[in-house]
Structure 1
Amino acid sequence: MHKPLPVSIPTPSSSLFARRTLIAALAATPVLPALAQFRVEVSGVGLTQLPIALVPFKGQDASPQKISEIVQADLERSGQFRGVDASGQALDEASRPDLSLWRQRTADSLVVGSVTRLGDGRYDVKFRLWDVVKGQDLGGQSYTVPQGDLRLASHRIADYVYEKLTGEKGIFSTRIAYVTKGGSRYSLWVADADGENAQAALASPEPIISPVWSSNGQQLAYVSFESRKPVVYVHNVASGQRRLLANFRGSNSAPAWAPDGGSLAVTLSRDGGSQLYTIPAAGGEPRRLTQSASIDTEPVYSADGSTIYFVSDRGGAPQIYKMGASGGAPTRVTFSGTYNISPSVSGDGRWLAYISRVGGAFKLHVMELATGNVSAITDTSADESPSFAPNSKLIVYATHLQGREALMTTTLDGKIKARLAGQAGDIREPDWGPFQKQ
């Protein structure tokens, strides 16, 4: 018999835990139009931001995309950079800039470039990066792309600049997935990491929840209610083809890819209460991982695939636990707070992001796994679905702002946040995809 929700867990209409576990996932949510385009608003001040000047690219006024503006927005959203006034200058990648001028403007680095429309309709995008302090040319690249890839070229420029100046890999050319609800229609979207250039992967009159990327970025697993119950599908992003993964008796929910892509962890109630199982990515018979009388759900793998973090109410209220990827005795991870859900583990293995209920508010928290130190990094009250960028430096999450659901990114210290918000829309369930192969 299905285990009832413990008294300490709120009703499905108010509980993120209940939404994710799908015990009763048809939660009441605002009905707002779906959207595909976002704008970025960066707020906050970091302590060690690098001042960078981005001169408007030569020819970009005639281009459908303003390359330098996209690059600057990417870099500022990372929390590592702040823009320096670059007005009144006309430079491109072939120029030899007067670096003393840029030193006077307090810039540490300078990006210049051009965008040219070719006869076949494609665009030639070129750029160069300068170290203003050392007076060094740090190189550049060129991309010949169709109009539809101008944003991608911009994101790759930002990745180049970020890596050259920080020594770490940039994530601007990666993708995110998220769900919108418009009227009675639900849509699953794949978009650039800044939320722009969104492409609809699936639309349905029934709820779509819990999208999660495979480690190679080629597939999304998600839960759909098309069968009037929660069922797990795997969707090929490039072809649009999908296959049924889990449609067992009861609910099938909360998919999580193993890093090797060969299997997924899922939450099934086929044998009674909600428990964790693994299932081959090609489908097949699930193997049970947990054997408890409690609700066990929301599994996520560590980057090396050795550990599964998950949510359980086995202690009387939802907390985050971990166990070996093949099962075994769980160990409790979260101890501060009485209600902790929605774990996400950083790719470098250092951080755990999760949602904690604090005085009735649901807030994003980050734990340093080595020390157990926990920080609350938002001042909003309805956060959900945190997901780390593949370089472990940013988190995307959903929250309520000004009466609507919106996506945000934040640095791990909470100092720099960017709202990925459209003109209207109810946006939820984000998941940040892996690095893209160039």
Structure 2
Amino acid sequence: MKSEIVLYDLQHRRETILLSVGEHIEAPNWRPDGTGLIVNGDGRLFSVPLDVPTRHPIDTGFASQINNDHGISPDGNTLVISDQTEAGESAIYTLPAGGGTPRRVTEKTPSYWHGWSPDGATLAYVGNRGAGYQVYTIPVGGGHETQVTEGFDHCDGPDFTPDGTWIWFNGEQDGSVQLWRVRLDGSDLERMTDEATVNWFPHPSPDGRHVLYLAYPAGTQGHPFGKQVELRLMPAQGGKSEKLTDLFGGQGTINVPCWGPDSQAFAFVRYHQ
């Protein structure tokens, strides 16, 4: 298995391979200062500088079963991870950006992080509390969780718009997985795609113009690894999407926010068997 971290230049529609390794790595985040990426692999987190692209382990203390739902605070000072080492199921934790001891945020499990509000105060995630996976929010310091969605068979990938007024997510109803957006209080639910593809992990660009997402072939169940998939781009207010690239990937390609801070590029992972 070979994994390639790829940078996609939106203006020139051009791909550049930043790093290629003979192991399975996943889910690049772009640091808010633009200097590098965060990825995960084998239950750990790694920093990848853009100027000298190689993996540097990040100290995550006891957390050794980190999955591909991780991220960085808007000010760049804090990391968030989804890890099951302590609880046996995934819980959400924060820790210093340079590494350190994780502090638990969500008491209820399973919980998988996906979005950080632009003001740094709120986390968006999915959890299963007995009625399938729905979207929730919680203060970054922990406390009461708020359920945002209901009635979906499965939700995933919640990510905030740059003005903090909407959460985008993928939601499954009656076997169709489309992209949706909703206010933080659960109001104004709106379906944003109506396509034959199975659409996952919408990521609004920091400039508020675009939404990047992963499209599986029609009929795909869940969000598996090892599929021919497309990365697609659509206007943030809705409308026709365009295919940017196709690749072998799926799970691990763009599970988490992956835009560069200037909205001119994004990062993704492509795989080769």
The alignment's TM-score, normalised by the length of structure 2, stands at 0.82
Aligned mates of 2:130, 2:71 — CA distance in 1 = 23
Residue 216 of structure 1: aligned partner: 33
| Contact map agreement 1:356 1:363 (CA 8 A) in 2 | yes
Residue 239 of structure 2: aligned partner: 415
The aligned length equals: 247
Provide the secondary structure at the position in 2 that maps to 1:259. Answer: coil
Residue 207 of structure 1: aligned partner: 24
Deviation at 1:222, TM superposition (A): 1.2
Deviation at 1:312, TM superposition (A): 0.8
Q: Which has the higher contact order (CA 8 A, sep 6+)?
A: 2
Q: How does 1:397-412 map to 2 (within 5 A)?
A: 397-401=213-217, 404-412=228-236
Instruction: For 2:198, give the aligned amino acid.
Output: A
| Structure-2 change in CA distance of 1:200 and 1:259 (3 Å) | same
Q: Tell me which structure has the larger Cα radius of gyration.
A: 1
Residue 201 of structure 2: aligned partner: 385
| Contact map agreement 1:255 1:265 (CA 8 A) in 2 | yes
Provide the secondary structure at the position in 2 that maps to 1:327. Answer: coil
Residue 332 of structure 1: aligned partner: 147
| Contact map agreement 2:132 2:152 (CA 8 A) in 1 | no
Aligned mates of 1:336, 1:373 — CA distance in 2 = 15
Instruction: For 1:426, give the aligned amino acid.
Output: F
Residue 375 of structure 1: aligned partner: 190
Residue 8 of structure 2: aligned partner: 191
Identity of paired residues, percent? 23
Provide the secondary structure at the position in 1 that maps to 2:71. Answer: strand
Aligned mates of 1:250, 1:385 — CA distance in 2 = 24
Residue 91 of structure 2: aligned partner: 275
Q: Which 10-residue stretch deviates more, 257-266 or 428-437?
A: 428-437
| Structure-2 change in CA distance of 1:219 and 1:315 (3 Å) | farther
Q: How does 1:13-24 map to 2 (within 5 A)?
A: none
Deviation at 1:297, TM superposition (A): 0.9
Q: How does 1:94-133 map to 2 (within 5 A)?
A: none
In the alignment, structure 1 segments of 5+ residues that lack a partner are: 1-183
Residue 266 of structure 1: aligned partner: 81
Instruction: For 2:260, give the aligned amino acid.
Output: G
Residue 251 of structure 1: aligned partner: 65
Deviation at 1:418, TM superposition (A): 1.4
Instruction: For 2:55, give the aligned amino acid.
Output: R
Residue 290 of structure 1: aligned partner: 106
Q: Deviations over 1:115-140 (max 9, x none)?
A: xxxxxxxxxxxxxxxxxxxxxxxxxx
Aligned mates of 2:196, 2:23 — CA distance in 1 = 28
Matched, 1:432 2:259: yes
The structure that is strand-richer by fraction is 2
Instruction: For 2:30, give the aligned amino acid.
Output: W
Give the aligned CA root-mean-square deviation in angstroms: 2.3
| Contact map agreement 1:380 1:400 (CA 8 A) in 2 | no
The structure that is helix-richer by fraction is 1
Residue 267 of structure 2: aligned partner: none
Aligned mates of 1:328, 1:435 — CA distance in 2 = 33
Q: Which of 352, 355, 361 matches 2:176? A: 361
Residue 238 of structure 1: aligned partner: 51
Deviation at 1:247, TM superposition (A): 7.0
Provide the secondary structure at the position in 1 that maps to 2:98. Answer: coil
| Contact map agreement 2:155 2:169 (CA 8 A) in 1 | yes
Q: Deviations over 1:228-285 (max 9, x none)?
A: x322112112221432123745511221101111111101112122111111111111
Provide the secondary structure at the position in 1 that maps to 2:70. Answer: strand
